[in-house]
Chains A and B, each alone.
Chain A
Amino acid sequence: MTILQTLISGLLLGGIYSLISMGLNLILGVVRIVNFAHGEFLMIAMYLSFVFYSTMGLDPYVSGILVIACLFILGLITQRFLIQPILDTPDTTKIFVTLGLSIALQNLALMTMGANHMSVRTSYQSSVISIGELAISIPRLISFIVAISVAALLYLFLQKTMVGKAVRAVSMQRQAAHLMGINVKKIYLLAFGIGIGLVGLAGSMLTPIYSVYPTLGTSFVLIAFVVVVLGGMGSMFGAFFGGLIIGLVEALSGVLLETGLKEAVYFAIFILVLLFRPSGIFGLGKGAEEVG
């Protein structure tokens, strides 16, 4: 029974990780930026969700659309004024610009919101669906379903629409896409906006589950990297399944091994994947060896 419950908990946790990682995946796949400030965008989204709740009484699931819009715009601004100018610089610059952004945003939150942990208290926050002895948390289930839907929608968007195809073209061959008359800069802008918008969605889904505080992002960002690399860069389903795998690994290693070692276990898996299948499990063949 415990194992079954662990699997359920792990899958639900994995849904959360997937949700957070999809935006990162899109940005990494298209713009080729490892965004170290990804967690801070999540933190901002959750603060927004909290503010909508506490000032206007909006339920996080309702205010989600507003949060996504805000984050989308924030993403556009970030891309245009921070990322665009450094696209052709060495890796160090890219890494340290997003790291600097992460530090600045974290402390901006500390200055404006204080160090308190803020929580939204909904009537359903710890409601569960019980099947025999097994329990499924409703807010976690909702975020899981949203994660699946988003992965599917994004897949359709990238495969079926013209814009989506352009995005994929840019992610595969920047130069060629440019020659084909695709406005690469615009695609970057769009991808970054959507990526950060997705973080907004993740934030809305997480607000009923976690409390928000300035350093919240740090506990998610490294996991998001692990998920993206594991699943395979540029593959939405990769990010989805990568999230599930890491969620399962985390929950299982906590029960079967030792709780104190679960982080060590998923980072070890991350290293193994990097070494033996650098393109990730669902990667399109381009992986760590070819692109940087």
Chain B
Amino acid sequence: MNIIKSNKFLIGLIIVALVIPLFVESKFHLNTLILILMFATIASAWNILGGYAGQLSLGHTIFFGLGAYTSTLLYLNYGLSPWIGLFIAAAISILVGIFIGWPTFRLRGTYFSLATIAFAEVVRHIALYWRDLTNGSMGVNIRFEPGVANLIFREYSSYYYFALVLFLFALAIVYYVDRTRIGYYLKAIRENEDSAATLGINVTKYKMIAMIMSAGLTGIAGVLYAQFMLFFEPDSVFNLNFSIEIALITIVGGMGTIFGPVLGAVIIVPLNEIMRSSFPELSGMNYFIYGIALILIVSFMPNGLLPLLKKIPAKFKSKKLLDVKGGTDIDSSSK
């Protein structure tokens, strides 16, 4: 029953998403929508590892940056179309993901986070240092030559559809994870790794599966970013703040849920836009408020907004249940 409902919801959502560019005239709004989709994609990817498997990576910027650099350098140096670069980017991100995951999956909780930060810092400094390959801090610049083969478009709506497809792909993967054994195993690992192992779950294997999906998707999103921005540098794609923001989006939306990351992106991305242009007279006020809001949100809503939103209809439902049965209150919101 529930699945059908959420399927209908999903189909409705997709239809709305498909026709949006027909109604949105402003390029600014389209730009924001593209960013929302991009961040929703990356946050969904992060969610598989961070939300479902409970491995709080703060180094996802590695895969994002690798994706961007891989496809771009192949395009600039060898004229390889980013369409092909996309797959190579995903492959390299996955390989590096395995390389990072293999030793660090032994670490628990915050230590895993710290290790991923350290990996990201190493990669950033190497990218800055290895100038022959990456052009160092001067960054790489893709010439604006629109063309389907170049994966560069004049129209923002083309980017929008590209981002939408990517997002739906990510959503499908998360959906698959959520509805199959993998999801249950991952959640079991998140709740209690030792018990999960005792129950016969191959903990490392399933963490690695989560890592592979997560890293690959993030790498592909990096390609989208590169093709959309056309300029990037180590400090913009290997940036700790970026990793933090991705995690934040997922947390605000709701970790370990299918739609949490989208919800988070829908809230955080426009919020960032608004914040930046707020309080032009007092530099710093905008981010000060951002910091305070962050503290409040995570301390009072540690499970994110999605469960909270779900509760609202549940309240009415539980009243009905009471009426009918006239007895025990069944809280349908709990898992």
Residues of A within 8 A of B (CB): 34, 82, 85-86, 89-97, 99-111, 115, 214, 222, 225-226, 229, 258, 260-261, 263-264, 267-268, 270-271, 274-275, 278, 287-292
Contacts and interface: CB of A to CB of B under 8 A. Distances in A.
24 contacts: A34-B114, A82-B295, A91-B110, A92-B50, A92-B298, A96-B247, A96-B295, A100-B292, A100-B293, A100-B298, A103-B290, A104-B294, A106-B291, A107-B285, A107-B286, A111-B288, A115-B283, A222-B121, A264-B126, A267-B122, A270-B114, A271-B115, A274-B111, A274-B115
A103 B110 contact: no
Interface in B225-254: 244, 247-248, 251
B192 interface: no
B66 interface: no
Given A92-B298, A96-B298, 20 more contacts: A82-B295, A85-B299, A89-B302, A91-B110, A92-B50, A94-B110, A97-B298, A101-B291, A104-B292, A106-B291, A107-B286, A108-B288, A214-B284, A222-B117, A229-B111, A261-B125, A278-B111, A289-B108, A289-B111, A292-B108
B83 interface: no
5 tightest CB-CB pairs across the interface, nearest first? A292-B109, A104-B291, A100-B294, A103-B291, A110-B284
Nearest to A104: B291
A272 to B, nearest CB: 9
Contact of B302 (A92, A109, A275): A92
Contacts, number: 148
B119 interface: yes
Would you call the interface of chain B mostly helix, strand, loop, or mixed?
helix
A112 to B, nearest CB: 9
A102 B291 contact: yes
Given A111-B285, A260-B128, A261-B129, A275 B104 contact: yes
A92 B299 contact: no
B154 interface: no
Interface string B267-294: 0000000000000001111111011111
Contacts of A97: 294-295, 298-299
Nearest to B50: A92
A226 B58 CA distance: 15
Contact of A107 (B58, B244, B247, B287): B287
A222 B295 CA distance: 21
B135 interface: no
Given A104-B288, A222-B121, A90 B107 contact: no
A107 B295 contact: no
Nearest to A89: B302
B200 interface: no
Given A92-B255, A288-B108, A260 B294 contact: no
A292 B122 contact: no
A82 B296 CA distance: 10
B56 interface: yes
Contacts of A102: 291
Nearest to A96: B298
Nearest to A228: B114
Interface in B114-144: 114-115, 117-119, 121-122, 125-126, 128-129
Contacts of B247: 92, 96
B226 to A, nearest CB: 23
B56 A92 contact: yes
A108 B295 contact: no
A176 B110 CA distance: 23
B215 to A, nearest CB: 17
B291 A274 contact: no
Contacts of B294: 96-97, 99-100, 103-104
Nearest to A287: B111
Interface in B1-60: 50, 56, 58
Contacts of B111: 229, 274, 278, 287-289, 292
Nearest to B279: A111
A100 B291 contact: yes
Contacts of B255: 92
Contacts of B283: 110-111, 115
A288 B109 CA distance: 8
B121 A264 contact: yes
B122 A268 contact: yes
A32 to B, nearest CB: 9
Given A107-B288, A111-B283, A291-B108, A93 B298 contact: yes
Contacts of B108: 288-292
